[in-house]
């Protein structure tokens, strides 16, 4: 089986593609190496994949339709795993136009290429941010998601809607996977666990927005990979799945866990809660358990420890 994976050099993309090639399937990877964070880290992410004969990389932007069609023309593609996106909630407040260009127009370009080349199976990377400040907890796939609180979240809802349109009109089999705060080795440096680890390690004050009571459903990367691999096996019709741990960790608990594992105390810089920030994320994963056999296993402290081990080995290479 041949899978086209967009955003292949990213955190999730590189991990899941390593698992795909281990199974004997072939990965056609696309990445534009956007400079949102260090391209050194992205190149490092691909080290294992580049050594595999079951992997080929195309450096291009998904919005470049000519180049995208060329990739589809040159390769027999069975399934598309669309992970590429402009990420980050707070930056999307400053540059909503670019977020819509990449996340919405780029997704439409992928869908159009699939239609033109008769590829009908797609996994779309969505986000827990679509739930906004939903008062019903835990978040369920049947909840209304028409009150996003950031441009980034609205682009992910738009992507899901586009996927539904193509499923309805052209018979695409699509699963939209709502990821809940993924962490682990290779995590993006702007995300809290990576950012706080580096700043505590360097003795730099860390920003704590709000009173420390905000909380996230932190999901370890191996559990996300398991969910994606399972979803590939059950692609039929249009589906939405939450992929989280279904456990909530408060911000203060996150900081104390990193302090304990680093054996260093954090310097806290308390700031007002930021616009666009969600108060809590918490996944109801019963649908994913029942329909695709998703079964997250990682303990939060163990997962953070694995991230810190990776950070210590690689920090000189990526900063």
Task: Please list the active-site residues.
Answer: 152
Phi, psi at residue 26, to the nearest 5°? -110, 135
Beta-strand pair 26-31/55-59: parallel
Instruction: Give the 3-state secondary structure of residue 280.
Output: strand
CA–CA distance, 182 with 218 (Å, rounded to integer): 6
**What residues contact residue 210 under an 8 Å CB cut-off, 6+ apart?**
251, 271, 272, 273, 277
Which SS3 state, helix, strand or coil, does residue 39 take? helix
Are 117 and 76 contacting, i.e. CB atoms less than 8 angstroms apart? no
Dihedral sign computed on CA atoms, order 69, 48, 174, 88 = negative
Tokens 């260090």 — which residue? 38
Q: Which token pair is 99?
A: 């977020």
Start-to-end C-alpha separation, the chain: 37
CA angle 307, 313, 318 (to 5 degrees): 90
Does a cis peptide bond (omega within 30 degrees of 0) precede residue 138? yes
Strand partners, 173: 121
- Which residues, 6+ apart, have CB-to-CB distance to 269 below 8 Å? 205, 206, 207, 208
């Amino acid at each position: 089986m041949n899978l086209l994976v967009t955003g292949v050099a990213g955190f999730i993309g590189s991990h899941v593609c390593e698992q795909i090639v281990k199974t004997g399937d072939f990965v056609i990877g696309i990445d534009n190496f956007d400079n949102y964070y260090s391209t050194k880290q992205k190149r490092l992410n691909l080290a294992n994949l580049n050594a595999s004969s079951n992997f080929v990389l195309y450096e291009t932007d998904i919005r470049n339709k000519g180049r995208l069609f060329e990739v589809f023309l040159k390769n027999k593609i069975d399934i598309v795993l669309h992970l590429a996106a402009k990420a980050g909630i707070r930056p999307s407040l400053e540059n909503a136009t670019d977020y819509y260009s990449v996340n919405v127009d780029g997704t439409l370009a992928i869908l159009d290429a699939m239609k033109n080349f008769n590829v009908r199976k797609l996994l779309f990377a969505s986000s827990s941010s679509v739930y906004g400040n939903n008062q019903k907890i835990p978040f369920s796939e049947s909840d209304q998601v028409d009150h996003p609180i950031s441009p980034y979240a609205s682009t992910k809802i738009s992507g899901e809607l586009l996927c539904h349109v193509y499923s309805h009109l052209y018979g695409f089999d699509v699963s939209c996977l709502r990821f809940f705060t993924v962490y682990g080795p290779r995590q993006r440096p702007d995300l809290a666990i990576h950012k706080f680890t580096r700043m505590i390690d360097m003795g730099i004050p860390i920003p704590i927005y709000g009173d420390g009571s905000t909380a996230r459903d932190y999901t370890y990367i191996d559990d996300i990979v398991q969910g994606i691999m399972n979803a590939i096996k059950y692609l039929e019709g249009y589906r939405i799945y939450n992929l989280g741990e279904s456990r909530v960790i408060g911000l203060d608990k996150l900081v104390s866990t990193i302090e304990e594992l680093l054996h260093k105390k954090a310097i806290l810089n308390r700031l007002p809660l930021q616009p666009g920030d969600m108060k809590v994320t918490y996944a109801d994963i019963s649908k994913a358990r029942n329909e695709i056999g998703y079964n997250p296993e990682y303990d939060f402290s163990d997962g953070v420890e694995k991230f810190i081990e990776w950070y210590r080995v690689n920090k000189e290479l990526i900063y």
